[in-house]
Amino acid sequence: MRKINKIIIHSSATKPSMDIGVEEIRDWHVKGNGWKDIGYHHIIRRDGTLENGRSFEVAGAHCKNQNRYSIGICLVGGVSEDDVKIPEDNFTQPQFDQLKVLIKWLMKEHKDIKVFGHNHFANKACPCFDVQAWLHAQNLGGS
C-alpha cells in the first residue's frame, strides 16, 4: 500500500441537475484529457451513492503536485444551474453524509491523514465550500 497522508476534496463542476458518476467522469478524463483512468479515487453522487474510481494503490490525477500521497474524492455538483462559470455549494445532505462516513473511515485507516479542499493547493473555487469549516462542524477536526 502506498503512503497516504492527505484527502483532497473536489467538485465535478457540474450543474445540480446533472446526476453523473464514475463512468461519465472516467470518460471525460480518459477521452477528453488522454489520461489512463479517472483521476479520483471516489465519486459521491447527488443521492449520496459512493462510487469507486482509481484503486488506492494507484496515485490519483486530481491535484497537481499532491497526487503521490493523497486520495481524491469528488462530489458531483459545484456550479450554478444557470451559469457553469459560477461556483456554487449545491451539494445534497446525502452527499455530505456519505463524505463524513468516508472521511471517518479513512481517518481510522490512515492515522495521520489531513483533509483539504482542492482550493488549498490551486487557485480554484473547487470544491465550492469551506472544507475546514465543514470538518469542524462535523467534529472531524481540520488541517
Which active-site residues does the annotation give?
10, 40, 118, 124, 126
In a 10 Å sphere around its CB, with 0-12 CB exposed, 13-18 middle and 19+ buried, how is residue 105 labelled? exposed
**CA gap 16, 120 in Å, rounded:** 23
Contact by Cβ (8 Å): 63, 9:
no
**CA gap 77, 92 in Å, rounded:** 9
